[in-house]
Amino acid sequence: MIRIHVRRAAAVTGLFVAFGFSISAFFPFLTLYLHGRGLRPDEIGLVIAVMAMVRTVANPIWGNYADTRLGRLRALQIGTIGSAVGAAAMNLANGPAAIATVAAVLSIFTVATGPNLDAIALVHLGDEHMSEYGRIRAWESLAYAAGCLLFGSILQAAGVSSCGRE
């Protein structure tokens, strides 16, 4: 029984580490990516605003579906796969309207991950160990910070700056 609990704890913590690391590769550098795709500052703002609006609408919908129809793990899986496909599709879209549309679809899926990870962790911890959530969540923050440093260093070494290629 203890062995199973340790494996589940490691798996839950691993999900938080992977999630923090994946977010660090995308969100902090999204404006650089969009600029590199040829978008002007106003178009970049539009894409980011569209993403925020879609997340605001999609978040409670995913929550409802995760709680009532799909289950949290299935919602997390769908969100993760959809996010990967959406991120790849961003490279195929051309022009502000197409990029904003793909970014909207991407946002529909990305919003399914974080809240379902939290719910999975809280169920795993149970009422008796709820106070340990901060420790698990800290691993996500640590992975995010490390990923930002790593990916920022890679971009800097590649010559990518806020003004495009150096």
CATH code of the domain covering residue 68: 1.20.1250.20
Q: Is residue 78 scored above 60 in pLDDT?
A: yes
Whether residue 166 is contained in a domain is answered as no
Q: What is the DSSP string of 72-106?
A: HHHHHHHHHHHHHHHHHHHTT--SHHHHHHHHHHH
Query: How sure is the predictor about 46, in pLDDT bands with cuts at 50, 70 and 90?
Result: very high
Domain assignment present for residue 34? The answer is: yes
Domain that holds residue 54: 2-161
pLDDT tens readout for residues 90-145: 999 999 999 999 999 999 999 998 888 888 888 888 888 888 889 889 999 999 99
**Residue 130 located in a structural domain:** yes
Measured CA to CA, the distance from residue 133 to residue 146 in angstroms comes to 20
- Residue 125 covered by a domain: yes
Q: Quick one: tokens of 96?
A: 């502000």
Does residue 41 sit within a domain? yes
Q: Is residue 156 part of a domain?
A: yes
Number of domains in the chain: 1
Q: Is residue 49 part of a domain?
A: yes
Residue with tokens 């902090």: 28
